[in-house]
Amino acid sequence: MDGVLKYMLEILPSLLQGTKLTLGLFAITLVLALPIGALVSLGLRSRFKPIQWILKFYVWLMRGTPLLLQLIFIFYGLPVLHIYFERFSAAGFAFVLNYAAYFAEIFRGGFQSVPEGQFEAARVLRLNYSQTIRKIVLPQVTKIVLPSVGNEVINLVKDSSLVYVIGLGDLLRAGNVAMVRDVTLVPLLMVGAIYLALTALFTYLLRKVEQHYSYYH
Amino acid sequence: MLEAANINKSFDGTQVLNNISLEVDTGKILCIVGPSGAGKTTLLRIITGLEKADTGQFKIDGKAFDPESNTTNEAMIGVVFQDFRLFPHLNVLENITLAPQLALHQSKAEANAKAKEILTQLGLEDKADIYPFQLSGGQKQRVAIARALALNPKILCYDEPTSALDPGLRESVAQLIERLKAQGMTQIVVTHDMEFAQNIADKILTVKPNREA
Ligand SMILES: Nc1ncnc2c1ncn2[C@@H]1O[C@H](COP(=O)(O)OP(=O)(O)OP(=O)(O)O)[C@@H](O)[C@H]1O
Ligand SMILES: [Mg+2]
- Check residue B87 and give its pLDDT: 98
B98 Cβ partners below 8 Å, 6+ apart? A125, A127, A135, B87, B90
CA distance B195 to A81: 78
Is A136 in CB contact (< 8 Å) with chain B?
yes
Residue percentage of chain A with pLDDT more than 70: 100
pTM tops 0.90: no
Pocket of ligand 1, candidates B7, B10, B15, B16: which has the most ligand atoms within 8 Å of its Cβ, to mutate?
B16
Taking CB atoms and an 8 Å cutoff, what residues of chain B touch A131? Answer: 102
- Cβ-based neighbour number of residue A200 at 10 Å: 11
A214 Cβ partners below 8 Å, 6+ apart? none
Going by alpha carbons, the residue nearest to atom 22 of ligand 1 is B41
pLDDT bracket for residue A2 (50, 70, 90): confident
Average pLDDT over residues A86-98: 97
Domains located in chain B, CATH noted: 1-76+156-161+185-213 (3.40.50.300)
- Check residue B64 and give its pLDDT: 87
In the predicted model, residues of chain B with pLDDT beneath 50 are 213
Is the pLDDT at A127 greater than 80? The verdict is yes
* SS3 track for A124-193: HCCCCHHHHHHHHHHHHHHHHHHHHHHHHHHHHHHHHHHHHHHCCCCHHHHHHHHHHHHCCCHHHHHHHH
Judge contact between A51 and A43, C-beta under 8 A. Answer: yes
Domains located in chain A, CATH noted: 2-212 (1.10.3720.10)
DSSP-derived 3-state class of residue A84? coil
Shortest distance between the Cα of A131 and any Cα of chain B, in A, equals: 8
- Check residue A35 and give its pLDDT: 96
Q: What is the pLDDT of residues A48-70, one digit of tens each?
A: 999 999 999 999 999 999 999 99
CA distance A23 to A151: 17
Ligand 1 pocket (Cβ < 6 Å) reads B 11, 16, 34, 36-42, 192
Q: What is the pLDDT of residues A133-192, one digit of tens each?
A: 999 999 999 999 999 999 999 999 999 999 999 989 899 999 999 999 999 999 999 999
